[in-house]
Amino acid sequence: MSNPVPDQSSLLQPSVALPPAETHTVRGALRRPSILRREVVAGLVVALALIPEAISFSIIAGVDPRLGLFASFTMAVSIAFLGGRPAMISAATGAIALVIAPVARDYGVDYLIATVILGGAIQIVLGLLGVAKMMRFIPRSVMVGFVNALAILIAMAQIPYLVDVPWLVYPLVAFGVAVIVLLPRLTSAVPSPLVVIVAITAAALAAGWALPDVGDEGELPETLPALLIPDVPFTLTTLEIIAPYALAMALVGLLESLLTAKLVDDITDTHSEKTREAWGQGAANMITGFFGGMGGCAMIGQTMINVKASGARTRISTFSAGVLLLVLVVGFGDLVAQIPMAALVAVMIMVAVGTFDWHSVTPRTLRRMPKSETTVMLSTVVVTVTTHNLAIGVAVGVLVAMTLFARRVAHLATVEREVTEVDGRPQARYTVTGELFFASSNDLYTQFEYADDPEHVVIDMAASHVWDASTVAALDSITYKYERKGKTVEIHGLNEQSLHMHGRLSGNLAAH
């Protein structure tokens, strides 16, 4: 898949040039102080952006903000060691919060933590079973829709911070956007998002402006997370309660994480271990649950801050984000609470701008792109934005793509009829061409002239391929219709695979 977020159309360019391939590793970064500094600073920027989001996701899940903040810390630190995609950020997310919110509401926090632990275990099993290999079945148009929808959701999430706020918020946000766009053209020494956060915070504190800040989002923890076992009965009843939510959490988390990993692969022109990422997400969620966190998965917004805005490429940035998040909220909570939301809104707005694939919606692209591809992309975007659930949007996009593909391929199967004489006997010869499966073979039987054909009929399948039981059933139906009229049918030219399927299934399917 080509890069779904073309660099030339993005306004959020990396603040540093891409390092050589060897500096994409932890060992290489540790040998280069400039690269190490970049990774740590990138982690600091991500940590600052994570705080209000983790708090807001905790509110969505209906739990104490500490559960979201602890989850972001443990997820980031764990995945830095366990994950297969360096520089990707995993933390508490809105998608996971939406899935597990009913558990906290109906059964309490202990059941929620048990759900997170079980969900992590399911992710480990799915990862070891090779679920990551299923990523190859997700079309590029779905990936583009996933990226565009996510950019829209990131932008929409900033709207509450721009409504019913002091007028000073608007010029500060505009100032932050301008700095992010213009500063990289002057210097790449420090990531522009960090400059925005520091500058706006310093100005607000110096001038004494009364602005919405991080502290307004919720209370920050004052202690470190502690190891715990959820206080739930270890019975089949408990399993019946949490299992459906744990499975949904596992699937949603894996889907978002693997899609984000693929996106980062394209942006960085590097390869990642998707299977390791899958079971690594599960292990990180189990660790998070045992430390009282609400669970999570990869976060594309913070990942884009890390990879695109700050130029991070190694696990050091992910590890730094988790550690610095905990240091900030526990050690410097009073100061962090005073960061104006305007600064973080400016950063996230530019993340949304940089994430959106602008090339995919240009008139030139829309004119040249097949309508089916555009339909798949738009359906993914519309469903995702409507449901606020990336997993549902991607699933719908894949289903639409499969349907349109089946419809398109179905028209490629053709049947040609020719009546000749063989050994003085009239014979009808049908040549079947194309790929035969449920969409193209369901009406196959209608293309034969049963009443007008002579007593001997030959069906030449040399230019076709039998893919499923629907096609075998269709051929059985054709043969049966001719036999009812006292005519004989011979099927010739089946390739080895088609012959095997036909021989195994013919005569053993439903009634004609």
> Which pLDDT tens digit goes with each residue over 279-300?
999 999 999 999 999 999 999 8
Q: Distance between CA atoms of 151 and 380, rounded to whole angstroms?
A: 13
pLDDT at 261: 92
Q: What is the b/e burial string over 377-386, where b = at least 16 CB atoms within 10 angstroms of the residue's CB?
A: bbbbbebbbe
When pLDDT is averaged across residues 111-118 and rounded to a whole number, the result is: 96
Q: What are the tens digits of pLDDT across the range 183-207?
A: 888 877 777 888 888 899 999 999 9
For residue 44, pLDDT over 50 is answered with: yes
Percent of the chain at pLDDT above 70?
94
Q: Which of these ranges, 3-12, 79-88, 271-280, 309-318, has the smallest mean pLDDT? A: 3-12
Residue 468, amino acid = D
Provide the pLDDT confidence category of residue 438 given band limits of 50, 70 and 90: confident
pLDDT at 7: 40
pLDDT at 429: 93
| Highest averaged pLDDT of the listed ranges 83-92, 258-267, 360-369, 401-410 | 83-92
pLDDT at 12: 41
pLDDT at 76: 96
Contact 253, 62 (CB under 8 A): no
Place of tokens 């099927």: 491
Contact 122, 282 (CB under 8 A): yes
Residue 112's beta-bridge partner residues? none
DSSP state of 435: E
Q: Which two tokens stand for residue 497?
A: 């695979």
- Residues 6 or more apart whose CB falls under 8 angstroms from that of 320 comprise 39, 40, 42, 43, 44, 47
Q: What are the tens digits of pLDDT across the range 305-345?
A: 899 888 899 999 999 999 999 999 888 888 888 989 998 88
Provide the pLDDT confidence category of residue 75 given band limits of 50, 70 and 90: very high
Q: Distance between CA atoms of 55 and 307, rounded to whole angstroms?
A: 23
Contact 407, 421 (CB under 8 A): no
Provide the pLDDT confidence category of residue 55 given band limits of 50, 70 and 90: confident
Q: Which two tokens stand for residue 167?
A: 């007028």
For residue 63, pLDDT over 90 is answered with: no
pTM of the predicted model over 0.95:
no
Q: Which has more pLDDT, 4 or 26?
A: 26
When pLDDT is averaged across residues 456-464 and rounded to a whole number, the result is: 92
Q: Which two tokens stand for residue 373?
A: 């591809």
The region that residue 473 occupies, defined by phi over 0 for left and psi between -120 and 50 for alpha, beta otherwise, is alpha
When pLDDT is averaged across residues 221-236 and rounded to a whole number, the result is: 91
Contact 303, 262 (CB under 8 A): no
Q: What are the tens digits of pLDDT across the range 142-183?
A: 888 988 887 888 888 889 889 999 999 999 999 999 998 998
Beta strand residue intervals within 83-241, DSSP E? 90-91
Task: Name the strand (E) or helix (H) holding 425.
Answer: strand 425-436
Provide the pLDDT confidence category of residue 461 given band limits of 50, 70 and 90: very high
Q: Which two tokens stand for residue 190?
A: 């420090």
pLDDT at 102: 87
For residue 363, pLDDT over 80 is answered with: yes
Q: Distance between CA atoms of 325 and 331, rounded to whole angstroms?
A: 10
When pLDDT is averaged across residues 231-236 and rounded to a whole number, the result is: 94
Beta strand residue intervals within 141-253, DSSP E? none
Sheet holding 425-436, edge to edge: 414-422, 425-436, 456-466, 488-492
Pick from 172, 181, 183: nearest CA to 205 = 172
